[in-house]
Structure 1
Amino acid sequence: MIVQKNFIIKEETFERELFGNFDENIKLIEEALKIDVILREGNIVLMGEEKNVNKALKLMTELHQSVSNGKNLDKQSISYSLSLLLEGNEDKLKELEDTIVLTQKGKAVQPKTLGQKEYINLIKNNDITFGVGPAGTGKTYLAVAMAVKAFKRDEVSRIILTRPAVEAGENLGFLPGDLKDKVDPYLRPLYDALFDMLGADKFNKYLERGLIEVAPLAFMRGRTLDNAFIILDEAQNTTREQMKMFLTRLGFGSKAVVTGDLTQTDLPDNKRSGLLHARDVLKGVEGIGSITLTERDVVRHALVQRIIVAYDKYDKKQEEIKNKRQEKNTKKK
């Protein structure tokens, strides 16, 4: 049965956020729920099958609450909200409204998926957290946000950023400039996140005072890192020895987040990733949390999700072909 129901818009901000640029958000909702959405005299008119219109009303209520709490709506957040709605989990949208920190421009940094929310909770509740997942899942950005939050609350006295410089042979000697200049290209994503949350002036001031420290992983050897929030980025490129060395640097009052994408390892074929090894070895150890984010947690262009899914399918297919060949060769012997 075709019905028509109204949703009253109480704030102009919600109307703007809901419709998006060129009505792109509304088009997503119409397509997913097979309804028509019309703006009429300050109200949103929903038309379609009754069960679909009722779902749309639930969605509008949850999205309105999100916007009221300072959240911005875009195609990614609308798509994710729709997927939760169709699974019957629309009430879980409330879990994504916690603000970690505000950017320099006053924008709230919040988890955008339930996977990201779990990741944040693991960082809160553990001394060491492994965040593994494909590009675009917010692993690095959210780790930096949690570091800035801890720093601003005086829970730690400094932030340390590190990553293995595999491409430079971990030596870095041939690159021009001082240590910071040599490492900068490899830590750009971390810098971008810190600029976003602290502003360039504060970042540079903290860097000069040693409150933010940047160093390649090799320079961590022999140190004990007390009262620090340490982020090891691109950890899939660590060897087993490097990972053990890093994890045993943790001092009193410190917290570490280790991020990486196991599908983008630059190590030689005969070297097993230290990140993969550490997760296996440390599974179940108290004080250590681990999460694997998936394509559902990607917060970049929607095409990135489809690319990740396509590569996963291809890799699985190649693995199946490889296993069949091995079985065939075994039978011949």
Structure 2
Amino acid sequence: MKTIAVIGPEQRRAQTLATQLMRCRVKVGAGPQDNPDGVIAVVGEWSPRDQEVVDAVSQAMGALVLYRPSSKQEGSNPWPQQPGVYHCTSVAEVQSAVDSLFLNRSRWYADARRADLEREDRVRIAVRLEMRRVATSLAEHMEDVNRAHERFVAHLQVALLRHGLAWPTIETTREVGEMEVTRNKMGEAVAVAAGLLGGVALGFGLGRVTGQPLLGLLCGVLVAAVGAGVRVAMVRTQRREADLAKYRANVRESWMALVADVMSRAHIPRVHESLAASALGRVTPHGPTLGTTTPSGASLGITTPHGATFGTTTPHGASFDSTTPGGGR
């Protein structure tokens, strides 16, 4: 719910207006410590000192609702129109201004925080999915691992820039070395033995059939040598394919680890942090900061029934020139 501060030289009129406003939390005479979402000034005729108060509050808050009932418009000193000050002559107009002009900052911050978390999740998921596809494609067609690694890092940088993220300070050297070719000695021995035995058996059978044992033996030896060579080549090819698949998996794993490291270091801008920082200083594009000192160092003397002041400052230190039931100006 919005928090609205109602200020003015006449406490009774400010309190009367406060009781008629709806859909907001109204605090009469609230100051910066109450962190109001908007300020309504209940005024009478225009005066230079009151104008300074209105200027200071509107500059500090960014906008101000100036309420002067239509019954009070007969005075000889009307309030001038100026940027950031919205003139209202009825409670209905004030209520409309409160509903449309002022934001519920608590809800605004919560929505911004939720949107930031959702955006972080979307960005991280999108980058990881994209880089997983890139890693798979590069690994399948990889000829030079160093060049493939450079291309992967370049793709990762582009993916971050596409989402508006700066590249973090991180080491991108390749963690996986060159592929090591291993030999399946047991498999090769079995293949050689199977080839030799098969060739010898074939030659012995051929010699028995043809009645020429020597010719059968020669053919058997030749077939055995060829068979053993073919079987060894097949075993080595299978071993190399297995090693290559394992190496590609290791490269993809190292690349995805790099993606996770980069995403953990990448700074994803958060809107709610900027909003919170602005709220702490209450710096507006229109002028001075709420609760700080202006060139003259004087403060607004808007006094509430308990003597508290709306701690904004004006260039000349002017205040609403009247006394409230709590005493003091």
Q: Same fold (TM over 0.5)?
A: no
Please tell me whether Structure 1 or Structure 2 has the larger radius of gyration of its CA atoms.
2
TM-score normalised by L of structure 1: 0.23
Higher strand share: 1
Q: Greater relative contact order (Cα 8 A, min sep 6): structure 1 or 2? A: 2
